[in-house]
A and B are shown apart, each in its own frame.
Chain A
């Protein structure tokens, strides 16, 4: 098989390439007007401020919000930290008696870590399970909240490993019925599935720039104005973003996020249709070449670009990746992708250890071509066959992976 002249990138959950239109929108704010958007005393600063505000409008429009409800952060991780810790700390300062923070076992690490951090501050984390399909049962949430009131419910819109899309409207309705705040981490969902803050009754929504073909280093948090949701800042400073997020606003990155959201508003649905077609094409080719390949998580409620596929025959995903160096895929979340631990998300679905270890995460994106998915399916199938031979010749797949993919432990962050 001929090798592609560049790696095929099917890891669009870890990060997406910057859309050339986004790059074009950002460049003038590095090259022509570099001013600080806080410098509204002079013309250059005011122009930068206007660009920031236009971007804020684009971000808001993507999720049916108003511009004044959008705060810029350094990314979705910070937005999740600010939403969860900020809401909890503010409410505690007001003397709330609601101390339970409810979330789900398959959330992104930064959400789980934020909720766990709050335990040290006197809050009570409640981590709910998901079904084998990866979805939270709204009835379970209902019973949980009925048993004891919660301050905040945080449920991600789309899972970063298995791509399943939670029933946000149903979950939001339950949360509101019980008087809890509702936060959703929409980093993987924005631009890929429609999100309307009114329809899902969200109080807080986290967004990421680099997951929507924008730049790394920028994200946003939606904070509902009516009724007003109050937060304590994570850190203080010059008082930007209404005191909730201090620090000079990175105008070029914000413009990039705004442009990425504007494009997503216009083209998200078209993207999803095309991406779903390629996902189906990829899965058909892979299933034909690798009998017994299985998809994890429901196919009924799923973001178009995601597949979580387990390979048969006792091979590990790492062995397959090592044997397919021209394809960029992952075993799970990028944050933990160098860890040897099996995915806690797959474990939560009830997958056995061996199957979890044979699972690859495939993320098809806006710039994936039909040729890319054809080549990738062929490369991964070939890699699986070679890995199988290694298994059969008693060579441990772990050793094979280690030999082909040496990596210092210090890079495992």
Chain B
């Protein structure tokens, strides 16, 4: 039986979300239609909007549904960067870096957290800025000091966009002092195909995808009702307090793995560890574990298959070791014996690799 430890690529669907998806699939109507079927669809849409707003501390009117986290990040950055220079954390997700190609990168400390002094200096040293920061890193789980960063942004008149894709549902996350917050349905146990951008009231968001005026003119296209219903149910079900139970499982993995852990000293997500095995290519580890039925990843899923050292670990100063890290990310429903099963496969892999190394040496 496979052990799925690649939750940061995508989480298993929560039962509450599955039920909401299936219920919505049975509805015929288009939420924009005025007849009874359309109004029933509209109610499902607005319920989901309320659920997302409630979980992340936004006003329902300021929740814009998108096709996912990538689109949510892209439309936020396109809108908020008008007339502003962009500052982005060096360890941001490729989707954010690609959406802000001219961005100045903000360094992180060796533990992966944002260098606040560097942010302060960057904000002081130029005109009005948009700052893009992830709440939690997808490869290491490291949490940025968002409250402090938001205060600095405020002090310097900068806008702050938060990529909350990996943090949502795993640690407490709210739009708070930020101007916008992107979340993804399938990273919090909802279905793929829906995400949301939450906005501070008063932010003007021109539609990147023009259409029939849906989402208050901010995102055209018939709403992806089943996926959105699932996102709403998942947001309601994804209680960070419940995710905290994953931390001891993750800690047991780290204690038993006898490997370096990237970002070990920083505040982190409860479900993520980045194990570094110097001298062994991440691809080799991932393939060996896959053959043993343990599904992990060498980096973010988008860049999977491309053999490339992680820019996240490089930014943390790991140097050559950046190519030797695997990401183990526990899903919300990780079984209690996760650590034992992972460590069994991990130990077998290491034993085989050291036998090979010895055979090679003789």
Judge: A and B partners, yes or no.
yes
Which residues of B (275-295) have their CB < 8 Å from a CB of A?
283, 286-287, 290, 295
Interface size class of A (residues with CB under 8 A): 35 or more
Which among B21, B38, B192 has the greatest number of chain A C-beta atoms within 10 A?
B192
Closest to B297 in A: A41
In the bound complex, what is the Cα–Cα distance between A137 and B10 (angstroms)?
50
CA distance A321 to B344 in the complex (A): 66
Chain B 1-28 near chain A by CB (<8 Å), digits 1 or 0: 0101010011111000010011001101
Chain B's closest residue to A327 (CB) is B35
A43 engages B193 (CB within 8 Å): no
Contact with A250, one of B32, B34, B191 (Cβ below 8 angstroms): B191
B220 contacts chain A at the CB level, 8 A cutoff? yes
Q: Is A337 on the interface with B (CB-CB < 8 A)?
A: yes
Residues of A within 8 A of B25 (CB): 18, 23, 215
Asked if B151 is at the interface of the complex by the 8 Å CB criterion, the answer is no
Contact, CB under 8 Å: B71 / A235: yes
> Of the 9-residue stretches B111-119, B206-214, B238-246, which lies at the interface with chain A?
B206-214
Question: Does A210 interact with chain B (Cβ within 8 Å)?
Answer: yes
Chain A positions within 8 Å of B10 at CB level: 34-36, 39, 248
Bound-state Cα–Cα, A14 to B29, Å: 8
Q: Is B52 an interface position by the 8 A CB rule?
A: no
The reply to whether B220 and A9 form a contact with Cβ atoms under 8 Å apart is no
User: Which chain A positions have C-beta within 8 A of B2?
Assistant: 43-44
Given contacts A77-B220, A237-B94, A253-B192, contact A113 B211 (CB under 8 A): yes
Residue in contact with A334 in the complex, picked from B6, B13, B32, B225, CB distance below 8 Å: B32
B72-80, B261-269, B351-359 - interface stretch = B72-80
A411 to chain B, nearest CB (A): 7
Is B223 interfacial (CB 8 A cutoff)? yes
Assess A335 versus B29: contact at CB under 8 Å? Given A7-B36, A41-B287, A42-B295.
Answer: no
CA distance A18 to B228 in the complex (A): 16
The interface size of chain B toward A, counting residues with CB under 8 Å, comes to 79
Complex Cα distance, B209 from A335, in Å, reads 14
Give the residues in chain A near B298, CB-CB below 8 Å: 41
Contact yes or no, B213 A336, CB < 8 A? yes
Interface hub of B10, B73, B210 (most chain A Cβ within 10 A)? B210
Decide: B302 and A74 in contact? CB cutoff 8 A: no
Residue in contact with B33 in the complex, picked from A14, A114, A234, CB distance below 8 Å: A14
Q: Which residue of A lies closest to B41 (CB)?
A: A15
A7, A15, A113, A117: most-surrounded residue (chain B CB, <10 A): A15
A350 CB within 8 Å of chain B: no
Contacts of A247 on B, CB cut-off 8 Å?
Answer: 67-71, 95
Chain B residues with CB below 8 A from A250, complex form? 67-68, 186, 191-193, 227
Contact of A43 among B21, B221, B295, B297 (CB under 8 A): B295
B222 CB contacts on chain A under 8 angstroms: 15, 75, 77, 208, 210, 216, 334-335
Find out whether the CB atom of B191 lies under 8 angstroms from the CB atom of A237.
no
A236 close to B305 (CB less than 8 A): no
Report the Cα distance A108→B211, complex, angstroms: 8
Closest B residue by C-beta to A75: B221
Complex: A15 Cα to B221 Cα, angstroms:
12
Does chain B have a CB within 8 A of A188? Answer: no
Q: Given A108, A248, A333, which contacts B70 in the complex, CB threshold below 8 Å?
A: A248
Quick one: which of B46-82 are within 8 Å of A by CB? 66-71, 73-75, 78
Mark the stretch among A170-178, A197-205, A238-246 that contacts chain B: A238-246
B42 within 8 A of A: yes
| B215→A413 contact, CB < 8 A | yes
Which residue of B6, B78, B213 contacts A335 across the interface (Cβ within 8 Å)? B213
In the bound complex, what is the Cα–Cα distance between A35 and B295 (angstroms)?
10
Residue of A nearest to B298 (CB): A41
Q: Is B99 an interface residue (CB 8 A)?
A: yes
Q: How far is the CA of A35 from the CA of B290 in the complex (A)?
A: 14
**Shortest Cβ gap from B161 to chain A (Å):** 14
A218 within 8 A of B: yes
- Which of the listed residues A236, A248, A249, A333 has the most CB atoms from chain B within 10 Å of its own CB? A248
Would B75 and A235 count as touching, CB distance under 8 A? Answer: yes
Tell me whether A337 and B33 are in contact in the complex, defined as CB-CB below 8 angstroms, given that A44-B4, A45-B304 are known contacts: yes
How many Å from the CB of B76 to the closest CB on chain A? Answer: 10
Residues of B within 8 A of A43 (CB): 2, 290, 295
The answer to whether B225 touches A217, judged by C-beta atoms less than 8 angstroms apart, is: yes
Q: How far is the CA of A16 from the CA of B29 in the complex (A)?
A: 8
- Chain A CB within 8 A of B30 CB: yes
Do A334 and B38 touch (CB < 8 A)? yes
A338 to B193, CA, bound (A): 27
Query: Interface code B88-103, partner A: CB below 8 Å = 1, 0 otherwise?
Result: 0000011100110100
Residues from 159 to 198 in B contacting A, C-beta threshold 8 Å: 184, 186, 191-194
Residues of the A chain whose Cβ atoms lie less than 8 Å from the Cβ of B226: 215-217
A34-76 interface code vs B (CB 8 A; 1 in, 0 out): 1110111111110000000000000000000000000001111
The answer to whether B37 touches A7 (Cβ under 8 A) is yes
Establish whether residues A11 and B295, one from each chain, have CB atoms under 8 Å apart when the complex forms.
no
A154 to chain B, nearest CB (A): 13
Q: Do the beta carbons of A40 and B223 come within 8 Å of each other?
A: no
Q: Does B216 contact A (CB under 8 A)?
A: yes
- Please name all residues of chain A whose beta carbon is closer than 8 Å to the beta carbon of B192 when the two chains form the complex: 36, 248-253
Chain A residues positioned under 8 Å from B286 (CB to CB): 41-42
Measured between C-beta atoms, what is the minimum distance from B90 to chain A in Å?
17
| Bound CA span A334–B78, Å | 28
Cβ of B301 within 8 Å of any chain A Cβ, yes or no, is yes
B29 to chain A, nearest CB (A): 7
Residue in A38, A110, A327, A411 whose CB lies within 8 Å of B304: A38
In the complex, besides A41-B286, A327-B35, 19 extra interface pairs with C-beta distance below 8 angstroms are A11-B38, A14-B38, A34-B12, A39-B9, A42-B295, A42-B296, A78-B221, A81-B208, A108-B212, A215-B224, A235-B208, A237-B99, A238-B98, A247-B70, A250-B67, A250-B193, A321-B34, A336-B212, A337-B38
**12 intermolecular pairs with C-beta atoms under 8 Å apart:** A23-B22, A34-B186, A44-B6, A44-B295, A45-B301, A74-B193, A76-B221, A236-B74, A238-B94, A238-B303, A247-B70, A250-B227
Q: Which 8 A-B pairs have the closest CB atoms?
A: A335-B212, A217-B224, A238-B302, A250-B193, A77-B221, A235-B74, A237-B95, A74-B67
